[in-house]
Amino acid sequence: MKYFLKLNVFFFMFLSSQVYAETSPVVSIKTLAPHIANKMVVSAVSYCTKKGYKVSSSVVGRDGNLLAFLRNPLSGPHTIRVSERKAYTAASLQAATSQMQSRSDLSFAPGILLIVGGVPITVGGQFYGGIAVAGADPKVDEECAKHGIQSIIDELEFVD
C-alpha cells in the first residue's frame, strides 16, 4: 500500500510539472484599438438613426471596461447606462443578451442587464468584448449592435 501511495504521489507530481512546464507564464490578450471601437459605435448609432431611432451605443473590452461610447444627443439619458450594461453583459457572458433573457439566476449578478441589445464581439475566432445599443425597440437595438460589428469585420478578420 505504501508503495502504491508513493507511486501515485510521484505520478501526480510528474503530471503536474509536465502541464505547467508546457504553458507560458504569461497570457497574451488581444484588445480592440480605439479607432476600431469608435468605428463600431459610430456605425451602430448611425444605422439606428437612419431607421428613425435615437440611441446610445457602447463597446466594452473583454474585461468589461468601456472602450468607446456614442450617444445621439436626442436619446434619453437612461440609454447611456443601459447600453454600457448591455455591452458588459454580452462581454461577461460571451453571449448575446437575447440568448440570456431566460437566465433569471443571473439577474442579481453585479452589472448584468438581461435586456436584448447586447452582442459579443467575436471576429475570426477571437473574442474582443461586447457592443450594445439602447434606445430603440430591443430587437432593433440588437440589429444596430450587429451592424456595428459588421462595420469592422474586414479589418479584424485576418488579424493574427
Q: Does domain 34-156 have CATH number 3.30.830.10?
A: no
pTM: 0.83
Averaged over successive runs of 10 residues, the pLDDT of the chain (160 residues) comes to 50 53 80 96 98 98 97 97 97 95 86 95 94 97 98 86
Grid cell digits, residue 82: 443601459
Consecutive H or E run containing 57: strand 56-61
Residue ranges per domain, the chain?
Answer: 34-156
